[in-house]
Structure 1
Amino acid sequence: MSDEQSFDQTDPLIGLLVDERYRVVRRLARGGMATVYIAQDERLDRPVALKVMHPHLADSQDFVARFRREARAAARIVHPGVVSVFDQGVVTGQGFLVMELIDGTNLRQLLRAQGAFTIPQALRYASDTLEALRAAHRMGVIHRDIKPENILVPTDGPAKVTDFGLARAASEVSMSSTGNMLGTVAYIAPEIATTARADARSDIYSVGIMLYEMLTGTVPWAGESPLQIASHHVADDVPSPSASQPWIPREIDDLVAALTAREPASRPADASEAIDLVARTAAAIPAELASRRADVSPGERNDGTRTSALNTEVLSAQFTRPLPPSVPTNAATVHTSAPNLSVAAAPPSRAPRRVVLWATLVALLLVAAGVGGSWWWTEYGPGSYLTMPHTTGRPLADVQAELQQLGLPSVVDEEFSDDTPAGSVTRSDPEDGASVHKRAEVQLYVSKGVDMRTVPSVVSLPRDEAEAALSEVGLQVGAISNAYSEDIPAGHVLSQGTPAGSAVRHDSSVDLVLSKGREPRSVPRLAAMSAEAAKNAVEALGLAANVAEAYSDTVPEGQVISQQTAEGSTLYRGDQVAYTVSKGPEKVAVPDVVGRQRDEARAALEGAGFTVQEESILGGFFGTVRATDPAGGTMLKKGSVVTITVV
C-alpha cells in the first residue's frame, strides 16, 4: 500500500461533505501551509480543488481573519492565468478554499522531469506568470511567494498562478507573533527579507529567480542555509545564468539582471514593463539556441523550495550600510567585467538589419498593444463589468429573465423569510446595484414562505448543545426531567418531547429528558471464592468477569488468588471486574541430562529451577551423569530436588 493510499484511509476529511456542498474524494497534495484535496461540488456537479489550511494555522484568529481577507481579494482576480477561487469557509476549525481544479502538473514537477528548460520554454512560462501577476497587481493583490510549486501547467492553455495572498496571511501572523517573516527563501526579494514589505516589484524579483532556475536547473546559492541565502539576496547581485551555463546569451543575462536588481527602483516598474522586456529578449535570441538546454539530469536537482522563517530585524541589523548599486539593465554596463567582450559586439555589417528588425518589432508591439488593450478593456477592464439589477422582493422568474438578458447565469438557493412572499428573491450576491463581471455567476436566494421551524434531533447531545441547537432554529427548551440510561452519558439528552423533523411554529418549545448516566454497581469481595462462585457474583450485578490465571504455591487450584478491581469500587452495567484464579503450583519438566558432564548437567537442572544433589560411583572419576532421580521428563514443582548419579 502506498503512503498516499494509507493517508486516504486514515484522513478524516475523505468522504466528508464540506459546507453541505463539497464531497471530499481524495488527497491531491500536501504543502507547507495546506493540504489539497479533490472534491466534488454536488451543487454544480463539477470537480474542484479543496485547499484546507493546516491545524496550527487555524489556532491563530489573526491568521483566520487575514486568510478570509486574502481569499476575498484573490477571488476578485479574473484572468486565464490565475487559478480561480470559487468559495471559502471553515471545516473542522480549519480554513478552506475552493478553487478551480487544474488538469496538469506544476513547474516544480516539470523541472524535476526535464532538469532544465530551453530558452523559449522558460521565457514562455515567465511571460505567462507575469501576465497573471499583472492582472493581480491591478487588483491590488501581491502574491509574495512566486515559485515553481505555485505555477500550474495545464494540459492546454497558459500556465496558471495559484495561492495569491496565502503567503501574506501566514507571514503577517508570524511577524505579529514571533517577529519572523515566512517565505520560500530561494525566491525572496531583498526588501521582503529585510523589512517584510512587498509590492509588485517583489513578485517580479521572484520571477527573475525562477527564470534563472528554469534555465540553469538550480536556484542561485543553492546548498547554503536559509539565512545565508537571504543574506545573498540582500548583499549580492544574482549571478548571471551564463556564469553557470556559458552558452546562455548576453540577452538572457541582461533580462535576469533587470528582473532581480537588488533595489526595487532598478527593476521593471510593473508586470507590463517586465512582459515587454521578456518579449524583446525572446525576439533577440539566436535561432540556433532555441532547442538547447542546460545539461542537468532529470530528478538530480537542488531545489530551493524550503519555506523558512526569517527574522527581519536580524537581517536589517546585518545590512545597515547602504547596499551596493544593483546591476544596471543596460547591456553594455552589465558586461563590463565579462571575460569576452567581443562576443557582445555586433558586426558592423549587421547594423542595418538590426534597425529593420527593431522597427518591425516596435510596430508589431504597438499593434499588439492596441489589440491587447481593447481586449483587456472588454474582457477584464472597466468595460467587462455590468451593474446588478434590482432583485430583492421581486419574483424569481422576473429576476432570472432580466439576468439572462444581461448574459449573467444564476444559481438559486432557498431560505425561509418572514417578510418576503414565497417564490420571490430575498437577496442576491452580488447585491442590488453592485458591479459584476459579465462572466460572473449570480447567487440568488429565494423565499420558501412562512418561517416555520423544523425540530432538530437533539438526542445524545449535551444539554448546552441541545439548547443551542434548538435556539439556532428559534425554538425554546420546555420542561426538563431526568432518568438513568446505560447508553446516553449523564447530562446528555435521553429523549425529546417533540419528534425530530416535526414542523412547528417558531415560538414553540421542546421538552427534554436528560440522562443521569449509568446506574452504579458496587464490586463484591471475591477473595477465597471458587472461580465459579466469583463469576456468578459478578454477573449477578450485570458486570463482566475478566479472569486471569496464575500459578500459586499457597492457593488451591480453582480459587481466587486476588482481585484487581478493588472491593467496593463503583462500576456500571457491562463494566469488567478483573480478578486472578489459581492454577495451583507451577510444574516444569526435568531436563534429560544423562550422558552429560557433571557441570553441564548441574547448569541445565538449576537453570530449569531445580535444586541438584549428587551421588558418585567410583568417586565420579569420569564426571559423566549416569542417571537422574526423578528421570528426565518428569513434571515437578520448581525448587524440587533432583539427584544426579555421576560416574
Structure 2
Amino acid sequence: MDATVADPLVGHVLDGRYRIESRIARGGMATVYVARDIRLDRVIALKVMHSHLASDEDFVARFIGEAKAAAALSHPNVVAVYDQRTDGEHVFLVMEYVPGRTLRDLLNERGRLGPREALEILQPMLAALGAAHRAGLVHRDVKPENVLLTDDGQIKVADFGLARAESASKMTKTGLIIGTVGYLAPEQVLSGNADIRSDVYAAGVLLYELMTGVLPHQGDTPLAIAYKHVNEAVPPPSHTLPGITPEIDLLVTRATSHDPGRRPQDANAFLAAVAEVHGGLPRDFDWRVEQSGRSQTSMLESAPPAPTQAPSGDGHTAVYDARTAPAEYLPRRSGGDKVVGALTGRYVLIAIGAVAAVILGWAVWYQVSGQYHHVPEKVVGMQLSAAEKKLRDDGLQVRVAEAVYDDHVQKGQVAKSNPPGGARVGDGAVVTLTPSKGRIPREVPDVGGKSQDEARQILEGKGFKVGDVSKDTSQTVDKDHVIRTSPVAGKKTSPDNPVNIVLSTGMSMPDLVGTNGEQAKNTLRSMGLDVKVDTQKDDSKPAGVVLSQNPRSGDGVSRGDQVNLVINEQKCDINLGPFGKYGCDNGDQNGDQQLPVPDVTGQNADDAKSTLEDAGFHVNVLGGGDNVRTQTPAGGTTSPRGSTVFLIT
C-alpha cells in the first residue's frame, strides 16, 4: 500500500484549521506533510513531531522556544515558520510550503556540480545561515536534504533551530552525537557542543560534496566516519577533481579546519570569501574543469564509490552513542582532551610543501588571471547616488534593490551590498545595492495635553525628532499644550521622519462688548475663567452692558485665566429731604426696558417692598415707621427694570 495513503494523519484536520493532504517526507524527528490552511485557503507545510518526542516535556518546551526564534527569521532564503501549535498528542510547526526538490535530489540526478555552479548555490545558502547566526541561532544540521530548490530557481534553507531543539531533549546524555554524521564538526563529535562555526564546517563539507559528488570522509559505520572527522583533515577537493583552483581548495580547507578559531567566524564571513572567489572565476570555468577531469578519467574511475549520506541511507539527523564505539574508533587524545594526529615527519613535510604550493599558486593566479575589481569596503553607509557612481566608475554594473528599514543606516544610504564590500569581482559584474528607508518604524508616543518642552523630551527619548510646530484653538486643551501630533499617537513610523506637533492656543475669547454684564460673567465662569469686574459710567450706553474686555475677542485663554470686564454703571442722586441724597446704582438692570412703578404709599412697608420686587425693582426702605409715607420714583411713573425704588416710612 502507498505510504501516503497508509499514513493515519492524511485527511485529518489539525487544530480545526490545517487539513493534511499528503506526506512529503519522514525524518528522524518529524514527518513533513503538505496541508491546506482552511481559514486562509493557502497551501502550507506541516512538520509534525514524532510521538515519542512529543511525550518529552523538556524537548517540547525547547522545540517551541526554538520554533519562535526560527519564526523571527525574515530572510528570502529561509523557509518561513508561520506558527507552532499543539493538537492533542500532535505537536507541529506550520511552515511555508516550498514546491520543488532538495539539493540531495539534484546531486542524485547529476552526480556532482561544477565548482562555479556549486559556489552559486552555496552563496544564498550561506546568506540564510548568516541571518540565523546574527539572530543567535545555530542550525546544527546543514546538509543537502535541508536545502530546497524551488521551481522558480530560488534556494531556501529549512529546519533552522530544530536540531538544536533536539539536543535539548532528556535523551541527550554525555557521549551522544547529534546530527548527520557526514557533516559533523570535530567538536560535535568530541563533546556534542556546537556553535555557529560548526555550521561553517558543515557548509565546507557540503561544498566539497557538491564539487566532487562524494563526502570527504567515508566509513563502514557512522562511528568510523565520526572518528575520521576528529582525526583526519578534509582533503582539498582538487585531490579528487583536478582543475579546481587553489582558491577553491582554500575555501574548503579553511572552513573545515579542526580548530574552530581558524575557520571563518560565521556564515557571513564565509559568504564574503565565497563571493570573492566566485567573482574571480571565468564564466566557462566549469567547462574547463570538466575538460581537465576527462584527462584524469582513469584516476577518477579507480576511486571507490562511496555513499553521500550516512550508512543508514536515509540522510536523517541521527543520534549515535560514542560510549559503545569499538576502541579503534575512539578519538585519540593526548594531554587530556586534546586530539592529535599521528603524522610522521614525512607527512609533515608533504603537508608543508602542499600548503606552500597552494599559496604560491594562488598568488600567481591572483596576479595574472585577468581584470578584476574589489567592491568598495565602505559602500555600506554611502549615499545611494554616490555608491552607484563609485561602482560604475570602477567598471561595475549596479542594480538597486527594494529599500529596507535599517536601524544602523540613515535613510537614502546603502544598507547592504551583494557581493559585500571587499569582495573581488570580475569586470562588468553586477553589484546589488539595497538602500535604507530609515530606521525601523516604531510607535509614536502619546504626548497629548503635555507642554511643548515635555512633549519634545518624550519624543526625543523614543528616538524621534520634533518637526513643525503649529497652533490651533481647543476648548479642552490648555494654551501652549499639545492637542495632537502628526503622525498620530500609536501609529508606527520611522524615527527618521519628523513628528509634527499642534499646540493649543487655548479657548477662543468670546466677543462680550455690548452684551448684558450678568450674562457675560456667567458665560466666562462656565468656561472656567476667573472674572474681575470694574464699573464705569457712560451715559451714551445702556446701563449694565459690557463696555470693554481683556483679553480681547479671539484671544486664546485657558481655564483659570483672569478676564477683566468693564460694565456700564448708571448713577443718579435723589434728594430725600431729611434722609439726604442717595445714589441709585442701575448697574444690574437688563438693558433700558422701562417698567411701570406701582403706587405703594400707605401700605405696610413689608408688603410694599414685596410688591415692588415682584414688579422687577430693587427696594431701599428708609425710616423707622411701619407704613410707607412717600416713595421715589412716585407711583404711576416708569423706571428701568432693576432700578431702585426708595420707600420712606
What TM-score does the superposition give when structure 1 sets the normalisation length?
Answer: 0.53
**Aligned residue in 2 for 1:204:** 200
Find out whether 1:308 has 2:318 as its counterpart.
Answer: yes
Query: Which residue among 244, 266, 272 is the counterpart of 1:270?
Result: 266
Aligned to 2:354: 338
Q: 1:185 aligns with which of 181, 189, 203?
A: 181
Q: Which residue of 1 aligns with 2:127?
A: 131
Q: Which amino acid in structure 2 is aligned with residue 308 of structure 1?
A: A
Contact 2:182-2:215 within 8 A present in 1 as well: yes
> For 1:389 and 1:43, how far apart are their aligned partners in 2?
33
**SS at structure 1 position matched to 2:168:** helix
Residue matched to 2:19 = 23
Query: Which residue matches 2:404?
Result: 378
Q: What is the number of equivalent residue pairs in this alignment?
A: 383
Distance 1:225 1:209 in 2: 18
Alignment of 1:503-582 (within 5 A): none
Q: Structure 2 matches for 1:170-569, cutoff 5 A?
A: 170-173=166-169, 176=172, 179-291=175-287, 292=289, 302-304=307-309, 305-311=315-321, 318-319=332-333, 320=336, 322-324=338-340, 336-338=352-354, 341=357, 345=361, 357=371, 360-363=373-376, 367=379, 378-379=404-405, 385-387=440-442
Q: Once the two structures are superposed, what CA deviation does each residue of 1:291-347 show, in whole Å capped at 9, x if it has no partner?
A: 3457899xx8612235332346789874345345999xxxxx997433994995479
Tell me the distance in 2 between the aligned counterparts of 1:96 and 1:158.
Answer: 25
Seen in structure 2, the aligned counterparts of structure 1 residues 29 and 326 have a Cα distance that, compared at 3 Å, is: farther
Write out per-residue CA displacement over residues 234-275 of structure 1, whole angstroms, 9 at most, x where no aligned residue: 222111111111222222111100111111100011222111
Match of 1:34 in 2: 30
Q: State the shift of 1:375 in Å.
A: 7.2
State the match for 1:169 in structure 2: 165
User: Does the CA-based 8 Å contact 1:242-1:253 persist in structure 2?
Assistant: yes
SS, match of residue 378 in structure 1 = coil
User: CA 1:342/1:141 → structure 2, altered by over 3 Å: closer, same or farther?
Assistant: closer
Q: 1:435, CA displacement in angstroms?
A: 9.6
Give the Cα separation in 2 of the matches to 1:25 and 1:162.
Answer: 20
Residue 175 of structure 1: how far off its partner (Å)? 5.2
Matching residue's letter, 2:206: M
Q: Which amino acid aligns with 2:374?
A: L
CA distance in 2, matches of 1:189, 1:201: 9
**Residue deviations 1:87-123 (CA, integer Å, cap 9, x gap):** 1112341210110011211100010011001111110
Q: Mark the CA change 1:77 to 1:59 in structure 2 (over 3 Å): closer, same or farther.
A: same
- Secondary structure of the 1:37 match is strand
User: How far apart are 1:176 and its partner, in Å?
Assistant: 3.8
Shift of 1:377: 8.7
- Seen in structure 2, the aligned counterparts of structure 1 residues 42 and 177 have a Cα distance that, compared at 3 Å, is same
State the one-letter code of the partner of 1:337: G
* Compared CA separation, residues 241 and 369, structure 1 to 2 (3 A): farther
Matched letter for residue 404 of structure 2: T
Letter in structure 2 aligned against 1:198: A
> Does the 8 Å CA contact 1:39/1:49 hold for their aligned counterparts?
yes
Residue from 96, 100, 103 that aligns with 1:107: 103
Structure 2: gaps spanning 5 or more residues: 310-314, 344-348, 389-399, 409-437, 447-488, 496-649
Question: Is it true that 1:159 corresponds to 2:155 in the alignment?
Answer: yes
**CA distance change for structure 1 residues 321 and 14 in 2, over 3 Å: closer, same or farther?**
closer
How far apart are the structure 2 equivalents of 1:182 and 1:44? 37
Provide Cα deviations, 1:114-147, integer angstroms capped at 9, x if missing partner.
1001111110121111100111111111100000
1:9 corresponds in structure 2 to 5
The verdict on how the C-alpha distance between 1:45 and 1:334 changes in structure 2, with shifts beyond 3 A counting, is farther
Give the superposition deviation at 1:33: 1.3
Give the deviation of 1:381 after TM superposition. Answer: 6.0
CA-CA distance at 1:362 after TM superposition:
4.2
- Give the letter for the 2:317 counterpart: T
1:16 alignment partner AA: H
Asked whether the 8 Å contact 1:127–1:275 carries over to 2, the reply is: yes
Work out the CA distance in 2 between the residues paired with 1:113 and 1:437: 49
CA shift, 1:39, in A, is 0.7
Pairing 1:122–2:148 present: no
Is the 8 Å Cα contact of residues 58 and 93 (structure 1) preserved in structure 2? yes
Amino acid at match of 2:198: S
SS in 1 for 2:24: strand
Measured after TM superposition, the shift of residue 390 of structure 1 is 9.8
What SS class does the counterpart of residue 243 from structure 2 fall into? coil
Q: 8 Å contact 2:184–2:229 — kept in the other structure?
A: yes
Work out whether residues 71 and 82 of structure 2, in 8 Å CA contact, stay in contact via their aligned partners in 1.
Answer: yes
* Contact 1:181-1:196 within 8 A present in 2 as well: yes
What residue ranges of structure 1 are gaps of 5+ in the alignment?
328-332, 392-431, 439-647
Residue 11 of structure 1 deviates from its aligned partner by 2.1
SS at match of 2:82: strand
**Residues 12/280 of structure 1: CA separation in 2 closer, same or farther (3 Å cut):** same
Shift in Å, 1:279: 1.3
Question: Contact between 1:335 and 1:341, CA under 8 Å: does it hold in 2?
Answer: no
C-alpha distance in 2 between matches for 1:79 and 1:326: 44
Distance 1:192 1:341, change over 3 A: closer
Q: Is the 8 A contact 1:201 1:264 kept in 2?
A: yes
TM-score between both structures, scaled by the size of structure 2 = 0.53
